[in-house]
Structure 1
Amino acid sequence: MNQMPQFLRRCSGAALVSLVALLGAGSVSAHAQVASKFDQAVASEVLVKLRSTADLQPLLARFPLTLASQFGARPIYRLKVIGAAAVNDVLAGLALEPGVMLAEANASHASPEARRNVPWAIGTATDYVEQWAPQSMRLAQAQTLSNGAGIRVAVLDTGIDASHPMLAGRLLPGFDFVDFDTDPAEVPGGASYGHGTHVAGLIAMAAPGASIVPMRVLDADGVGNAWVLAEALLRAVDPDGNPATDDGAQVINLSLGSLNRTKLLGTIQLIATCGDPVLGDPVADLSDPGYADDRARCAAASTGTVVVVAAGNDGSRSIKQYPAAESVYGVIPVGATGSNGFMAGFSNYGSWIDVAAPGGGITSLAAGGGYATWSGTSMAAPLVAGTVALLRAREPGLTPRAVAERIRKSGATVCGRVSQVQVNAMAALTDRLPAPLNCSLTQTSGFTSSSRLR
C-alpha cells in the first residue's frame, strides 16, 4: 500500500480537500499529463516564490528539497527534489505553506514551430527584400520617421549566427543560458537550427537602426525551460546587475512558449515591464527587500521593457500559449496573418490576442549565411518587436503599457475578425487610424509548401 509522504501527513483532511479544489485543473495535474518533450517539466525540480527570503530555510528543513539557485536577492528559487519524493507530492505540500506564494514545476518551453514540426523552405535575398510583409505593415513609410536607432532588442531563442552578413554591426554581446557561456551562437544538428537567426533577421528588417542582443535559451531542438527563460529575461533588462545603469533592452522578443502555465514568468514579466506590484498577490507581490534593485531600476529608467511574445501555432481559440497569455500590461501576445489579410489558419486566436502581424510564408536570414522561408507566430512576433523598436526610438517616454495600447489601437482590423488587428507601423508612429486591409476572397492556412523543405 502506498503511504502518504511524511511532509503531507501533517495536512488536515479539510486542507487536503481545499488543495484539490484549488489545484483541480492547475499546474500539478497539467504536468502529470505531459504528451511530449515539448510539454514535459525538468525532472526533480520545482520553482518557488516565497513571501520572504526568511521563509527558505524552514521550508528546506521540512521538505525533501535542496537549493539549486536563486534570483539574486529575490525570494525566488529553483529547488531540487531529493530522495524518492514525487514532484507532484512536493508541490501539493508546498501549496499549503503560508510562506509560499507560488510553487510550480519547471515547465519546458519551445518554439511553436518545433512543437508543430513546421519546416522551413530555402529562400533568397530577393525574397527577403521584396516579400509581402513589410508593405502590408507599412514599414517603409514608418522607417522614414524612425529606424529604431538607440534601441536594444533582446532575442531569447536558439541563438543567432553572428557571422551572417546581414547582421554585421547590428549585434551586441549576449549570453548562452543553455551552455552558460558568453557565446550565444546557433548550435547545428537540431530541428530548430536557425530559428533565432530567422527571428533576428526580421527584427533587423523592421528596425534597421536597432541593436540586437542574442540570448540563447533554447537548444538546437527548440526546447528550453521556465527557469532558463526567467534568468534570461532578467539579464536582458539589467545585464550588469546595476539598476542605475541604463544598459537593458527596451524590447524583448519571445518566439517561444509552453502549453503549461508557469505563473512565476508572470512575476518576471511584471519586473521587466516595470508593472504595478500588488501586495499579497501571488504573481504581483514584490514587497520583499530582495526586489529593491528592480524598484530602483524602474525608478531610474521611468519606463520598463516591452515584451513581445508569439501566441502559438495550434490554430485554436481555446489553447493558450504561455507566457504570451499571462495578461501583464506591456506584454504583447502576437498572432499571425496571411498575405490575404485573414488570420493564418495555424495561428492561435481569441480574446487574449489583440495583435497580429504577417506570419505566413515569411523570408528571413538562415544560419550559415543564406535565407529561409518559414511560417508561424514566431515570424509575426519579431515584426511587432521591430515596430515597437521604431516607436520607442521616436517616443522614448512611452511606458510599456502605453506602447502596447498604441500598437493595438493603430492596427487594421484583421479580415473576418473583430477582436484582432494587424500592426500598421506607420499608423503606430503617427498615432493615427490605419487604412483597412485589402481582404481577399479566400482564407488559407498560411503555411508554405515547397519541394525543397528541410
Structure 2
Amino acid sequence: MRRRPGAALTAVLTAALTAAAVLTLPAPAAAAPGPSVAPQWWFDSWDVHSLWAAGADGRGITVAVIDSGVQADIPELRGKVLPGADFIGNGSDGRTDYDRSEFSHGTAMASLIAASRGFAGIEGLAPAVKILPVAVPLVNVIRRGEPPEDSTSKAIRSAADHGAQIISMSLGGPRFEARHSTPCPQDIQDAVLHALGKGALVVAASGNSADSGSPVEEPGVCLGVLSVGAVNAQLAVTDFSSRHRYLGVTAPGRDIATLTREPGSAFAESGTSHATALTSAALALIWSKHPRESARQILSRLLATVTDRGPKGRDTQYGFGVINPAAAIAAGPAVTTGPNPVLDAAAPLLALRRARATPPSPVAVASRPDAALGEYRIGARPAELGPSVYLPAAGSAVSGVLSLVLLIAAVRRRRRRRATAALSA
C-alpha cells in the first residue's frame, strides 16, 4: 500500500510492500496464469475463465484507479485506459505513471484489474473494464508542479463525477488520536459521501502495519468505504495486513505478480494494495453480470458470499471474510437485500447531506435561527461517532453510527417542535 504525503505521514512512513522479487520467468503450463514463482492462484479458486465465458468479465464497468498514474501505453493495457486526471500537478491526464520506483504502483494495480494476458502470463481479473486513472501525490512520485492540499478528496470527487462505478484506492495515511480530531479527515469523508451519492463504490487498502500496531488508516476508516486486508493462497491472513475493527473483507495479497510501466517487466510483491485492486476487479465482475443492480446490491452480494475465516462473523483480521466473486455472481437475488454494514455506516451522513441539499419549508426556516443543520459537520467528531475508533478495545467503529442516528432524530424532533410552535402562534 502506498502512502500519501503530508504533515502526519512523512514522519511515520513505513514500507509499502514486502517480499519484492523481479520476475523474468515465463508463464507456467498450469491453468492459473502468471509466472511460476507467483501464479495467479485465484483464477483457479474462482474459476475465472468460466466466469468470463458466462459474461462476467467487467464489461460496461469503469474502475477509477487513484494512484501514481497508469502507464496507458504498455501492450497489456492499451485501449483500456481512459483519459483521467492529475492532482500531482504534473499536467497529465493520469495516463502516465509517476512512481519513481521500478515497481510502478499505479500501473501494477491497473494490471491486476484489467491487463490482457501478456508478459509472464499475467492477466487482469476483469479484462473488459475501462480504467479511469487519477494521479495523486503519493510518497515517492515524481512531482513537477504543486498539488492541492486536498488532492485525495478532489481525486475521489473527480472519479465519481467522471463515471467511475468503482473507485479503487491502494493507498492510505495513518491517523492518531493524539494528533487528529477525527479518524477520517472531513474533506475525504465529504468526498466519499459525494461518490456514494453518485452511486459508486469506494474501496481502500487497510494498511501493511500489523507489526507496528495497525494504526487507523484513511481513507479505509472513512464511513462507507470498503476496507480491504490481505490473505495468502491458503486463505490465511498475512502477517503484515493491518488489523482493524472497521475492516470489510480480505483478498489475495501475498506474492502477487504485477506488470510495470516498462514493457516486458514485472514484479512479485505483497501488500494490501494488491488485495484492494483485486477486490475492485471482483466487484466489476459481479456488476458486469448483474448490470441492473445498484451499488448497494452489488456490495451486498460480495459481503453475503465471503468465505468466513477466523472467529465467526466480522473480526479484525479478515473483516467479514475472504472475497469469492464466483459465489457472489451465482447467488440468488435474495442476497442483495441482506445486511450491508459498510454502506449502512454512512447512511446517517448521507441523510444529512440530502437534508442540506433539500430547501427547507418556509415554516421550518421561520421557526429556527440556524441554517439547516448548520452546526453539524459532515466530518463527524469523535464524540459524535461514539466509542473511539482509535482504541482497539473500544467497540465497533460502526456502532458509532447509532450516535449519529440519535443525533439526527433529536434534530428532527427539535425542528418539528419549533415548526409546531410557529404554526400555533
Shorter-chain TM range is 0.5 to 0.7
For residue 238 of structure 1, what is the amino acid of its counterpart? D
2:67–2:171 contact (8 Å) kept in structure 1: yes
Please give the TM-score of this superposition, normalised by the length of structure 2: 0.62
2:64–2:132 contact (8 Å) kept in structure 1: yes
Equivalent position SS for 1:126: coil
Aligned mate of 1:139, from 21, 44, 48 = 48
For residue 332 of structure 1, what is the amino acid of its counterpart? L
| 2:250 counterpart of 1:250 | no
Q: 1:406 Cα deviation (Å)?
A: 1.5
Aligned mate of 2:107, from 186, 197, 203 = 197
Q: 1:139 Cα deviation (Å)?
A: 2.7
Q: Distance in 2 between matches of 1:208 and 1:149?
A: 8
Aligned mate of 2:284, from 373, 383, 389 = 389
| Cross-structure match for 2:239 | 345
| Cross-structure match for 1:307 | 202
Q: 1:333 Cα deviation (Å)?
A: 0.9
Deviations 1:327-353 (A, max 9, x none): 31xx31111001121101110133311
Q: Distance in 2 between matches of 1:379 and 1:158?
A: 14
Equivalent position SS for 1:172: coil
| 2:142 counterpart of 1:231 | no
Deviations 1:139-182 (A, max 9, x none): 33332331111111110001112221111121111122102523
Aligned mate of 1:187, from 75, 92, 98 = 98
Deviations 1:207-244 (A, max 9, x none): 111111111113461598861111111111113xxxxx
2:228–2:251 contact (8 Å) kept in structure 1: yes
2:16–2:271 contact (8 Å) kept in structure 1: no
| Cross-structure match for 2:128 | 209
Aligned mate of 1:357, from 251, 266, 269 = 251
1:234–1:268 contact (8 Å) kept in structure 2: yes
Equivalent position SS for 1:324: coil
Counterpart mapping for 1:121-136 below 5 A = 121-123=21-23, 124=25, 126=27, 129=34, 130-136=39-45
Q: Distance in 2 between matches of 1:137 and 1:254?
A: 23
Counterpart mapping for 1:420-439 below 5 A = 420=318, 421-431=321-331
Q: Distance in 2 between matches of 1:326 and 1:422?
A: 21
- Superposition misfits of 4+ residues, deviation over 6 angstroms: 109-112, 223-226
Q: 1:374 Cα deviation (Å)?
A: 1.1
2:4–2:137 contact (8 Å) kept in structure 1: no
Q: Distance in 2 between matches of 1:326 and 1:267?
A: 10
Q: 1:321 Cα deviation (Å)?
A: 1.2
Q: Distance in 1 between matches of 2:304 and 2:256?
A: 25
Please give the TM-score of this superposition, normalised by the length of structure 1: 0.59
Aligned mate of 2:221, from 309, 325, 330 = 325
| 2:71 counterpart of 1:161 | yes
Equivalent position SS for 1:412: coil
Equivalent position SS for 1:413: coil
Q: 1:400 Cα deviation (Å)?
A: 2.5
Q: Distance in 2 between matches of 1:116 and 1:390?
A: 27
Quick check: which one's strand share is greater?
1
Q: Aligned-pair RMSD on alpha carbons?
A: 3.1
2:17–2:271 contact (8 Å) kept in structure 1: no
| 2:174 counterpart of 1:259 | yes
Q: 1:427 Cα deviation (Å)?
A: 0.6
In 2 relative to 1, CA 222–125 (structure 1 residues): closer, same or farther, beyond 3 Å?
Answer: farther
Q: How many residues are matched?
A: 294
Percent identity over paired residues: 28
Mark the runs of 5 or more structure 2 residues left unpaired by the alignment.
115-123, 176-183, 336-425
Q: Distance in 1 between matches of 2:201 and 2:45?
A: 23
| 2:260 counterpart of 1:366 | yes
1:149–1:393 contact (8 Å) kept in structure 2: yes
In 2 relative to 1, CA 217–39 (structure 1 residues): closer, same or farther, beyond 3 Å?
Answer: closer
In 2 relative to 1, CA 40–150 (structure 1 residues): closer, same or farther, beyond 3 Å?
Answer: closer
Q: 1:354 Cα deviation (Å)?
A: 2.7
| Cross-structure match for 1:41 | 6
Deviations 1:264-289 (A, max 9, x none): 21111111011xxxxxxxxxxxxxxx
Deviations 1:18-62 (A, max 9, x none): xxxxxxxxxxxxxxxxxxx968635xxxxxxxxxxxxxxxxxxxx
Q: 1:397 Cα deviation (Å)?
A: 3.2
For residue 61 of structure 2, what is the amino acid of its counterpart? I
For residue 400 of structure 1, what is the amino acid of its counterpart? A
Q: Distance in 1 between matches of 2:12 and 2:302?
A: 24
